[in-house]
Amino acid sequence: MQIKEPLLLFLKGIFMGIADLIPGVSGGTIAFITNIYQKLIHSIKEVIASIPLFLKLQWKPAFKKINFSFLVPLFLGIIIAFLTLSKVITILLTQFSGETFAFFFGLILASGIYLYTHIKKVKFEHFIVFIIGLTISYSISGLGAISATPPLWFIFIGGVIAISALLLPGISGSFILLLMGQYQYILTAIHELNLKVIITFAAGALVGLTLFTKVVDYLLKKWKALTLAFLIGIMLGSLRIPWAKMIDSQTSVGVLIVLGIFGFALVFLLERLGKH
């Protein structure tokens, strides 16, 4: 492996981590755009498959199954993004809400268009599934978030569900956490290194990872076009949230448009990064 390859994986991990912090944007989408999605799913499946070997104390074959050269730089980037940028994202969302969500709007819109380019031949059933995804996402986006401080068992469930952001392009774990009333709470816990909350959430994420990896892999292999059509609907339906934030802000329309264009362009810059 060339030196630049782990560096590129690290950078892709950084972008995935940032995406997972943003409501409406998915780390899975970034993995898809940067051309590492299939390898990521396969590598996670291999990690899960190695668990029985570890339990049997068969260390050598267990470690041999794990693609460390891929997973270590990638997840190092994700973790560093979480630890260093969670506070920045919180500040941007509270003090520059309109501007930040305009940027997110462009990101989400471009990501949906990018996924569309991977549907080779559009059929009527794709349109139907797209409308279903759009309707579900748009309806859920209009719900008010739960605001109470979540108990640990609920944080665990949040981890199980939010891991979908890593596994499915188009499904935003941050958006789900926002609706569950956990988004701000988890961000604060990460920034303040609240280990009890972080470990509980991470345990839920590991359970979700084990449960959903094979399901996601099956869907994208068996019904890739239908799955992508549904995910595009989910993504575009979630635009209701950044649109509402932009409308409510006092920021000038020109600034919002420029930031939206910048977010849109970033997706295709990431696509070019994925070709290296």
Side-chain-facing half-sphere of 143: CA atoms under 13 Å: 16
Question: Average pLDDT of 5-27?
Answer: 84
pTM metric for this prediction: 0.76
pLDDT of 25 higher than 80: no
* Residues 224-265 pLDDT 10s: 899 889 988 988 888 888 888 888 888 889 999 999 999 899
**What integer pLDDT is reported at residue 226 of this predicted model?**
92
* Residues 160-181 pLDDT 10s: 888 876 677 767 777 778 777 7
Q: How far is CA 216 from the centre of its chain?
A: 14
Let me know: does 199 contact 50? Beta carbons within 8 Å: no
pLDDT of 184 higher than 80: no
pLDDT of 145 higher than 70: no
d(CA 202, CA 15): 20
